[in-house]
Amino acid sequence: MTDRKIRVLIAKPGLDGHDRGAKVVARALRDAGMEVIYTGLRQTPEMIAEAALQEDVDCIGLSILSGAHMALVPRILEVLEEYEMTGIPVVLGGIIPDEDVAALKELGVTEVFGPGAITVDIVQVIQKAVAARE
């Protein structure tokens, strides 16, 4: 009888004012049957963690185009830990150099998607990561 839906928070941390990519991903996830909590531009790490906690999401998707990912992501993971949200899958989209991808995964990011990523892959990665936690 359970009516379970995957809930995903899509957030744009940092100062870049571009959310077209984030919106495309949000729509793709919706079309895959997920419930997407869309929070808009310029989210602080605290806002992201607070929203993830209140919305009890299964996964967090971050879109960072500013190049500040190496500063933002570790901070966000730190705040998530403070909010007792450790272990929640975090996926990242943006233009991220290979060496940073390795470092981010080392920190606990589930997957990193570049500008050429297809949404089907994003959907699959999220579905797998959420299933693995249950």
Partner 1 sequence: MTLVKELLSGSKRALARVISQVENDAPAAHEALAALFPHTGHAHLVGVTGAPGTGKSTLVNCLTMAFRERGDSVGIVAIDPTSPYSGGAILGDRIRMRDLSGDSGVFIRSMASRGSLGGIARKTADVVKVMDAAGFDIVVIETVGAGQSEIEIARLAQTVLVVEAPGLGDDIQAFKAGILEIADILVVNKADDPRAGNTERALKGMLELADGRHVEQMIWHHGMLIAAAMPAGSSTDESWQVPIHLTNAISGDGVTALVNEIYNHRAYLNESGELSRRTYARVAAELDLQLREHLMRRLLKGVDIERLQSLIVEVASRRTAPHQAVETLLDHCE
Which among 24-32, 86-94, 99-107, 110-118 is the span making contact with partner 1, rule CB under 8 A?
24-32
Q: Which residue is associated with the tokens 């899509």?
A: 10
Cα distance between residue 39 and residue 118, in whole Å = 22
32 makes contact with partner 1 (CB under 8 A)? yes
> Is residue 47 within the footprint of partner 1 (CB under 8 A)?
yes
SS (H, E, C) 93-121: EECCCHHHHHHHHHHCCCEEECCCCCHHH
By CB under 8 A, residue 36 contacts partner 1: yes
Residue in 24, 37, 68, 117 binding partner 1, rule: CB under 8 A = 37
Determine how many CB atoms are found less than 10 A away from the CB of residue 98: 9
Query: Which one among 16, 24, 53, 103 touches partner 1, defined by CB under 8 A?
Result: 53
Alpha helix (H) residue ranges in 32-94: 45-55, 69-82
> Given candidates 15, 17, 18, 40, which one binds partner 1 under the rule CB under 8 A?
40
Q: Is 18 in the site for partner 1 (CB under 8 A)?
A: no
Binds partner 1 by CB under 8 A, chosen from 17, 35, 82, 87: 35
